[in-house]
């Protein structure tokens, strides 16, 4: 092969290399969460980043994304804290609402924004202020989209819960259900509240 043909072939090869997608610009490193599978799916991460851009006027903390992947069963750590600046992600157990899983299968079957549904709502939330309620230290959530804009009125919040733990998973293959809230293990709530600070975006969905 002559020099001219070689360089033409090389240039053609370079032009065929795919450009990384928006969701692949983070190189995940091992985190300190509860699972070796600490990285959210690229598609869900892409959706969460798009929501961050859409609602940026309501979000003060743009270095971290909180993502709940309700495509996964409740026995799996499916709540991700994604450090957009450092490229690190950790995962934790999180409960879904009774109304999203009436038969208590451990899977989310549907979302709802309706009062009294006790279901999880999908979409983007702005993390609100801290308060002390029946479960202890908790944090309010503000729904930013039509599919979750009743979150405050429904008292959908972040809180700890006794029914989120590894013992239940070992005994019944799933954790308990909330009334639509994002409920976490007592052992994880301190880290969740520290990192998912007021002004952070929380994104929930299933693929």
Domain of residue 40, residue span: 22-205
How many domains does the structure of the chain reveal? 1
Query: 150 in a domain, yes or no?
Result: yes
Query: 128 in a domain, yes or no?
Result: yes
pLDDT (0 to 100) of residue 48: 98
Task: State how far the Cα of 83 lies from the Cα of 90, in Å rounded to an integer.
Answer: 9
What are 148's two structure tokens?
């979750």
- Domain containing 168 — which CATH number? 2.40.440.10
- Average the pLDDT over 192-200 and give the result: 98
| pLDDT over 70 percentage in the chain | 82
Could you report the per-residue pLDDT of 90-113, keeping only the tens digit for each? 999 999 999 999 999 999 999 999
Please check the confidence at residue 12 and state whether its pLDDT lies above 90: no
- Count of CB atoms situated within 10 Å of the CB of 187: 14
Query: 14 in a domain, yes or no?
Result: no
Please check the confidence at residue 27 and state whether its pLDDT lies above 90: no
pLDDT (0 to 100) of residue 38: 81
Could you report the per-residue pLDDT of 62-94, keeping only the tens digit for each? 999 999 999 999 999 999 999 999 999 999 999
Q: Answer for the pair 184, 94: CB distance below 8 angstroms, yes or no.
A: yes
Beta strand 182-184 pairing with 157-160? parallel
Could you report the per-residue pLDDT of 169-182, keeping only the tens digit for each? 999 999 999 999 99
Query: 6 in a domain, yes or no?
Result: no
pLDDT (0 to 100) of residue 33: 44
Place of tokens 């009436």: 102
Query: 28 in a domain, yes or no?
Result: yes
Please check the confidence at residue 156 and state whether its pLDDT lies above 60: yes
Task: State how far the Cα of 195 lies from the Cα of 188, in Å rounded to an integer.
Answer: 11
Query: 174 in a domain, yes or no?
Result: yes
């Amino acid at each position: 092969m002559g020099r001219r043909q070689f360089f033409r072939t090389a240039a053609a090869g370079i032009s065929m290399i795919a450009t990384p997608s928006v969701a692949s610009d983070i190189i995940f490193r091992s985190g300190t969460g509860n699972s070796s599978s600490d990285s959210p799916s690229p598609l869900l991460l892409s959706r969460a980043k798009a929501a961050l851009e859409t609602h940026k006027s309501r979000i003060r903390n743009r270095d971290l994304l909180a993502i709940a992947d309700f495509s996964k069963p409740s026995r799996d750590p499916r709540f991700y804290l994604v450090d957009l600046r450092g490229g690190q992600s950790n995962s934790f157990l999180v409960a879904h609402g009774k109304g999203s899983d009436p038969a208590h299968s451990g899977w989310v079957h549907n979302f709802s924004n309706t009062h009294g549904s006790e279901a999880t709502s999908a979409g983007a939330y702005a993390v609100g202020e801290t308060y002390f309620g029946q479960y202890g230290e908790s944090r309010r959530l503000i729904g930013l989209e039509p599919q979750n804009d009743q979150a405050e009125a429904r008292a959908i919040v972040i809180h700890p819960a006794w029914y989120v733990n590894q013992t239940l998973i070992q005994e019944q293959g799933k954790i308990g259900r909330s009334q639509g809230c994002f409920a976490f293990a007592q052992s994880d709530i301190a880290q969740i509240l520290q990192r998912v600070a007021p002004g952070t975006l929380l994104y929930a969905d299933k693929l």
